[in-house]
Structure 1
């Protein structure tokens, strides 16, 4: 018996098997869920290949969360495989590393900033709205953030986008709560992912975690973060919404 037995879960934004989304899909399957995953464009073929590495090969949907046609078609695409959703995972973010990261905050051009905000923050609302017809009381939406309460070295406009994501999650908790749908985020410490490789100076964050996280931190281990996401998807947090759960070895609670 797993804590997601009988649950139908969509994990949106799975590209590589080194991603948090992939780890979440794996743990969700291990806990009894029927899982669907999504991606779009040139990355879709990569997703279809790595889907075979999960315990059970899931259906792979094409979904660009910035494309209104894709969002409108999502409920019917999901219903081709399952009759509804109990949980949705938002594992989606993008910011042009050449213009928005690595010390480029003051020079970040608005078109690139706008794209980062749409893909990394607004898309949580867009995905929730698209999936709402498939969900009922007890449903759970979980997104992934990187603590946006402080300014990090090199993270720049992605930090602003994550702050928007965190605020968006709280407003979704407010507006979806009357329908019995929860919305929460998991704030992970720095993990080795495809996205992290694109951040100049990311190694400095990794070294800081190793020095200050009281539980220690393994940037190559995605499982603790995936387990937290799965816990929030389960029925074990029925009265928790608008929350940010830190999975960072305790780093966020430490001072100097």
Structure 2
């Protein structure tokens, strides 16, 4: 919170309009980004699709303030083409976008790397990486005086046990963010990622052997890591959505207890 006058506090997102994807449970990083964004003064609109839409609708009721919900499947071009129009029904423009989208078919995870068919790999890359470009460009007409786009990442510098093609998709996400930063900088659009440590989310439960990640962090993270606490990663995302990082783009901010820096 920033003090503008004696006794007056204004949130770091005061007056901003933020679109948040991927709110499925109140244990998700995306939920806490939406919550903190509202608490810091932002107006928030959520997206969901398919069976997850009902989950998003239910969980949205746990936010501090009501948040409109728009149906959006990032692999559906009709949804993408209509997104700006749908957002304008609730907000005049957008100042920030949160990309919390990732999926890999079961065959692309769990140690099946050498046998995964291209169709499954293609799904993982399209949903988890290409969608950052799709979502950003669908929202681009709503960016008034620039914007901050923040994606959620899991560090792809190394090969993780059983993460397989999702790891490849995250590497593609990281590269996509850099190219978007290059091409959209002229519009004052910042593209950054939060590389969070492992959090027990719905997505994590779909990863076979997730407990192996937990063991690695328990043993090697210099700062104590809690796989049940999504708030630190959410705080990092909210900071990037604010005006406090005006000249940071193409960056990966690690919120992982420092493990990425350890040998």
Please state if 1:95 is matched with 2:122.
no
Counterparts of 1:96-175 in structure 2 under 5 Å?
96-97=105-106, 99-175=107-183
Contact kept, 8 Å, 1:2 with 1:32, in 2: the verdict is yes
- CA shift, 1:137, in A, is 3.0
| Partner SS, residue 137 of structure 1 | strand
Alignment of structure 1 residues 66-105 onto 2, 5 Å: 66-97=75-106, 99-105=107-113
Unaligned 5+ segments in structure 2 are 1-9
Q: Detail structure 1 runs of 4+ shifted over 2 Å in the superposition.
A: none
Query: Does 1:220 find its partner at 2:228?
Result: yes
**In 1: Cα distance, 2:84 partner to 2:154 partner:** 29
Partner of residue 195, structure 1? 203
- The whole-number CA distance in structure 1 between the counterparts of 2:23 and 2:223 is 28
Shift of the alpha carbon at 1:38? 0.6
TM-score between the two structures when normalised by the length of structure 1 = 0.98
Mapped to 1, the partners of 2:144 and 2:85 lie a distance apart of 16
Q: Is 1:60 aligned with 2:69?
A: yes
The CA RMSD measured in Å over matched residues stands at: 0.7
**Structure 1: where are the runs of 5+ without partners?**
none
Structure number with the higher strand fraction is 2
Cα shift readout 1:105-126 (whole Å, capped 9, x = no counterpart): 0011111110110000000000
> 1:32 Cα shift?
0.8
Give how far 1:136 is off. Answer: 3.0
Provide Cα deviations, 1:40-87, integer angstroms capped at 9, x if missing partner: 011101110110001112001100000000000000100000100000
Q: Does the 8 A contact of 1:136 with 1:181 survive in 2?
A: no
SS of aligned partner of 1:86: strand
Is the Cα–Cα contact under 8 Å of residues 138 and 238 in structure 1 kept in the other structure?
no
Give 1:210's match in structure 2, choosing from 218, 223, 232: 218
Which residue is equivalent to 1:253?
A: 261
Alpha-carbon distance between aligned partners in 2 of 1:196 and 1:233, rounded to the nearest angstrom: 24
